[in-house]
Structure 1
Amino acid sequence: MSELIDLSYEIYQGMPIYPGDREVELINNKKIMRDGYCNHNLKMGMHTGTHLDLPAHMLEDVRNAADISLNNLSGQTKLIYAAGQKIIKVKPDYQKLIEKNDIVIIYTGFAEEYGNQKYYRQHPVISEELADLLIAKEVKLLGFDMPSPDYSPFKIHQKLFENDIFILENLCNLEKLLGLESFKLFVFPLKVRAEAAPCRVAAEI
């Protein structure tokens, strides 16, 4: 029997944010003992926690998260092991491993630093060579357990977006997938009219 592994971070008041983003506010403004029911209000940026980046994040693209079919965000997924690599480069077996329309997930182990400034300031980066391979293979989605594939001026972001590859940032629990080369991934972003969206992400194993 298959099992779903949750790869998404919880959303909560004061959770880690990318430097410069707004703080998360999750306010319990109605309480059962006082008001007869419970209610929360949430204020957060779209690039907080586990989230999907779309080309409109950095390009003139009219599509927003509400436009994207869930069929484009789920499917066969290949896991790349890249722990200890500051620059994630191509390995010979990637040519055979990665197929057209795959989702590619990169395990770096850097989720261990989530909540520390190091997570945002010293995370690994994806090489242009690897980005070029993903483009040549026509993958539809790239995800990883770090906050970004690059640093300013965000050339890898732009290169992937220009080739219609979506980016899934801040995944967790990828260590539970180690040893699997292939599995099915399900990505459910908020149906929000924005260039990005917080997501619930699960792997079926």
Structure 2
Amino acid sequence: MIFKGKRIIDITRAIKQGMPVYPGDPEPVIEQVCSIEKDGFALSTIFMGSHTGTHVDAPSHVLEGGTSADMLLPESLMGRAVLLDMKHSGGFISAEELDVAWKAIKPGEGIEVLLLKTGIPCLVEAAENFCLEENIAFWARDKGLKVLGIDAFSIENGKSLPLHRSLLSRKINIIECLDLELVEEGMYTFICLPLKITGCDGAPARAILIEE
């Protein structure tokens, strides 16, 4: 087995009815329409927004004519990752703060994925009190990153979404609402596979870490 002897960590938030969603997003509804007792098999309908739970933001989320979720290449959402614990930073994180944390952990060369453990819960009341600053896009580009992932609802608050636009226009993928609560700061292999939904602006995803 390719990962034999290595711990695989699921960092995906489970999708379920009643779960918190970003303010204004549709709440998921999961209903059984067939049962084993009645029909010989179980079947359910699932209704949810494209940015429910752990999800990938496609460029078409904020860029006119941008790439949709089904066109994202799997290799653009995999790679060697560094997870930084930024819980001490409070509600707003700048490129300067990230640079200090990055240098402290000394990740070396070949890092393609940055994951931020903010400790900001995926809750409605926390959504407006957290934001990554726009200058992070230039910092991420200079680091050669292709993925920025975070445990909060969104990388920024408000509706103009300048950081989304800056990152996605530079082909840096965004993954939000990861479950990093029990994961330690350090180096990992990261894999994220969004649902292949034609023409969609984003998609729920399964994300895992593999310890090095």
How high is the TM-score relative to the length of structure 2? 0.86
Q: Percent identity?
A: 29
Task: State the shift of 1:170 in Å.
Answer: 0.1
1:189 aligns to what?
Answer: 194
- Greater Cα shift, 53-62 or 43-52: 53-62
* d(CA) in 2 for partners of 1:104, 1:29: 41
* d(CA) in 2 for partners of 1:99, 1:55: 27
The amino acid that maps onto 1:185 is F
Alignment of 1:43-62 (within 5 A): 43-62=47-66
Q: Write out per-residue CA displacement over residues 40-92 of structure 1, whole angstroms, 9 at most, x where no aligned residue.
A: 11011111100000211000234211112211111100112210322112233
1:77 aligns to what?
Answer: 81
Where 2:164 maps in the other structure, the secondary structure is helix
Q: How many residues align?
A: 199
Corresponding residue to 2:26 among 16, 22, 25: 22
Determine whether 1:117 maps to 2:124.
yes
2:206 aligns to what?
Answer: 200
2:93 aligns to what?
Answer: 88
Task: State the shift of 1:133 in Å.
Answer: 0.6
The amino acid that maps onto 1:21 is D
1:168 aligns to what?
Answer: 175
**Gaps in structure 2 of 5+ consecutive residues:** none
Determine whether 1:155 maps to 2:162.
yes
* d(CA) in 1 for partners of 2:101, 2:115: 15
* d(CA) in 1 for partners of 2:67, 2:162: 21
CA contact (8 A) 2:82 2:111 kept: no
RMSD (Å) for aligned C-alpha atoms: 1.8
1:178 aligns to what?
Answer: 184
